[in-house]
Amino acid sequence: MSTEARLAIVRQGVTFFEEQLNTLSDAQLDEPSLLPDWSRRHVVAHVGYNALAIARLVSWAETGVEIPMYESRAVRDAEIVSGAALPADALRKLSMHAGMLLDSAWANLPEEKWSAEVQTAQGRTVPATETIWMRTRELWIHAVDLGTEAGFTDIPPGVLRRILEDIVAAWTTRGEHVGLQLAVTGGDGLVLGDRDAGDPLIVTGDLPALTQWASGRPGANVTSNRPGTPVAPRWL
C-alpha cells in the first residue's frame, strides 16, 4: 500500500474519532469509557498526546536526532492524567490541534526519510512509514473506547485484520499464543494463533467480534470449543 493510501486511512480515522467525540457533551466526558479506570477524558487526552508522541518520531526520522515517544511510561501516564483534568474545551482542542500537527509533520516529511528507522515506545525498531499505522490503530480503536454508539463493526475490515494480527503477534512474542487459535468466520476463513496445537482452544467469531475480544474490550460476541468464554491474553 502506498504512503498516500495509508495516510488516507489514518485521516478517515481522525474523522471517525472526532465524530464520536463531538456526539458527547462536556458533562459526558466525565463518564467512564470502555477502558478500565479511564474516563472518556482520559481517552481523549491519550489520543491527543499520542499524536504529539508520534510527531516526535517523525521528527526523529526527518532530522536523525533521536527523540523518543515518551521519556518513560511514568511520564506518559502522568501526562494523560494531567490532560484529562483540562477544561473540556481545552481538551477538545488538544485532540484536534495535536492531530493537525502530526498530519503536518507527515505532509512535510521528505520522501527519502520515510524509510528512516525510529523506535516505538515498546522498543521496536521500525521505519517511519510505521508511524502511520501506529496512529491509525489508536484512532479507530479509541473512537470505540469513547463508548458512544460506534462499535468494532464501524472499523474498516483491513484495519480490523491488521489490529488482530498485531495482537496475535504480541501474544506470540510473549509465548501466550500456545494452544490458542482464533477462527474468523466469513471471508477467507482466517485462522490465527497456534496453528500447530494438537487440541487447541478455538475462539470463533466474525472479524469485528474477534478483534473486540482479543483487544480486551467487553461484550464481544464470540464462542469457543470449551465451556464459557475465555479471557484473552493481554495485548500491550
- CA 141 vs CA 10, 13, 194, 199: distances in Å: 12, 9, 25, 32
Rounded Cα distance, 54 and 220, in Å: 30
The reply to whether 143 and 164 lie within a common domain is: no
Residue 16 counted as domain residue:
yes
Residue 234 counted as domain residue:
no
Beta strands in 53-207 (DSSP E): 117-119, 125-127, 180-184, 191-193, 201-205
Residue 233 counted as domain residue:
no
Residue 24 counted as domain residue:
yes
Q: Which of 109, 134, 150 is the last residue in one of the domains?
A: 150
Closest to 49 in 3D by CA, of 93, 14, 83: 83
Instruction: Tell me the pairing of strands 180-184 and 125-127.
Output: unpaired
Three-state SS string across 22-46, please?
A: HCCCCHHHHCECCCCCCEHHHHHHH
CB-neighbour burial class of residue 131 (10 A; exposed 0-12, middle 13-18, buried 19+): buried
Beta strands in 98-178 (DSSP E): 117-119, 125-127
3-state secondary structure of 184: strand
pLDDT at 186: 84
Average pLDDT, the chain: 95
CATH number at residue 117: 1.20.120.450
The number of distinct structural domains making up the chain is 2
What is the extent of the structural domain holding 164?
155-224
pLDDT tens, 200-215? Answer: 999 999 999 999 999 9
Q: Which of 131, 150, 169 is the last residue in one of the domains?
A: 150
pLDDT tens, 7-46? Answer: 999 999 999 999 999 999 999 999 999 999 999 999 999 9
The reply to whether 108 and 144 lie within a common domain is: yes
Task: Give me the phi and psi of 127, to 5 degrees please.
Answer: -70, 160
Q: Which of 89, 119, 150 is the last residue in one of the domains?
A: 150
Residue 8 counted as domain residue:
yes
Is the model's pTM score more than 0.95?
no
Closest to 95 in 3D by CA, of 60, 156, 159, 43: 43
Q: Please tell me the chain's helix, strand, coil percentages from 3-state DSSP, rounded to the nearest 5.
A: 55, 10, 35
Q: How confident is the model at residue 1 (pLDDT cuts 50, 70, 90)?
A: confident
Residue 236 counted as domain residue:
no
